[in-house]
Amino acid sequence: MYAVNFLILAAVLFSIGVFGVIARRNAVMVLMSIELILNSVNLNLIAFAMMNNSPEGHVFALYVIAVAAAEVGVGLAMVLMIYRNRRSIALDELSVMKG
């Protein structure tokens, strides 16, 4: 298998995730796009581990999976809190901290 297969697939997924982060207004869907980005990075790590035949890439991928799980837990808790206070999770309405 060519190395570019994995790397280009990961680059395409990354770009789609970035588009989702920019375009989406719903906070939960922005979190889903961030998951796309993290998964594309993991694909890259596994491809490089395969290229060097070493387990370090797998270890980094597992770190990323664990941190992503923690991020989703805290992120969704924050979204729930915002929804409870404002009855909306539209990100363009969250301008309280704007100077």
55 phi/psi in degrees, rounded to 5: -80, -5
Distance between CA 84 and CA 99 in Å, rounded?
24
**Residue 37 per-residue DSSP state:** H
Distance between CA 60 and CA 66 in Å, rounded?
10
Give min distance, CB of 99 to another protein, in A.
21
Give min distance, CB of 48 to another protein, in A.
10
Q: What is the dihedral of CA 63, 66, 30, 96, to 10 degrees?
A: -100
Give min distance, CB of 17 to another protein, in A.
7
Give min distance, CB of 15 to another protein, in A.
4
Identity of the residue, 31 or 99, whose beta carbon is nearer to another protein in the bound complex: 31
Site for another protein, rule CB under 8 A: 1-9, 11-20, 22-29, 31-33, 35-36, 39, 42-43, 46-47, 49-51, 53, 55-56, 58-59, 61-63, 65-74, 76-81, 83-84, 89-92
